[in-house]
Amino acid sequence: MGRQRQKKDRDRQTRLEHHLLNDFQHGLSLSPTPFADMAEVLGVSENEVLTTLQQKKQEGVISRVGAVFRPNGVGASTLAAMAVDKNEIERIAEIINGFDAVNHNYEREHEYNLWFVLTAENEQALAEVIKEIEQQCGYEVMSLPMLEDFHIDLGFDIKWT
């Protein structure tokens, strides 16, 4: 009986993870209690939602949960790139991920092989973050601010097996 209960609990947790990662990529509630709102839709507690999201963050499945604003609509943002020694890319990526201003980063096959998006409250704060990243990493940051706005929907349906 214990194994059946464990399997049922695992299945429930897997369904919760699936719905959290899949169903809330768009249209997250604009309310003071978005996680409680998610919990209500899913029929679970707010604590279960928060615990599951924190676990997924610790596992590296997600990096953040939050609103995405049109670039430079609120505050300032830029796409940034660095030419990092391949032997140091993991270490440098970890440093970059430690900055709250970093939305995400990724490796590319190019001389400039580490790319990331930065957001800050204004241009001065953005420049300060770039300077701090350069100091901590020992590499120059190439800032590529947006010149023309294109909307790309980054949400996608997650296929579970």
| Model confidence pLDDT, tens digit, residues 104-135 | 889 999 999 999 999 899 999 999 999 999 99
Nearest Cα neighbor of 22 from 160, 115, 161 is 160
- The pTM of this model reads 0.58
pLDDT of res. 87: 96
User: Predicted confidence band at 61 (pLDDT cuts at 50, 70, 90)?
Assistant: confident
When mean pLDDT is compared over 32-36, 55-59, 138-142, the highest value belongs to 138-142
Residue pLDDT, tens place only, 29-38: 788 999 999 9
Which pairs count as long-range contacts for 14-18, CB under 8 Å and 24+ apart, including other chains? Answer: 14/160, 16/42, 16/44, 16/48, 16/49, 16/52, 17/52, 17/56, 18/158, 18/160
CA dist., res. 33 & res. 50, Å (int): 12
Look up residue 145 and give its two tokens. Answer: 């601010």
pLDDT of res. 132: 98
Beta bridge partners of 20: none
Alpha-carbon Rg for the chain, nearest whole angstrom, is: 19
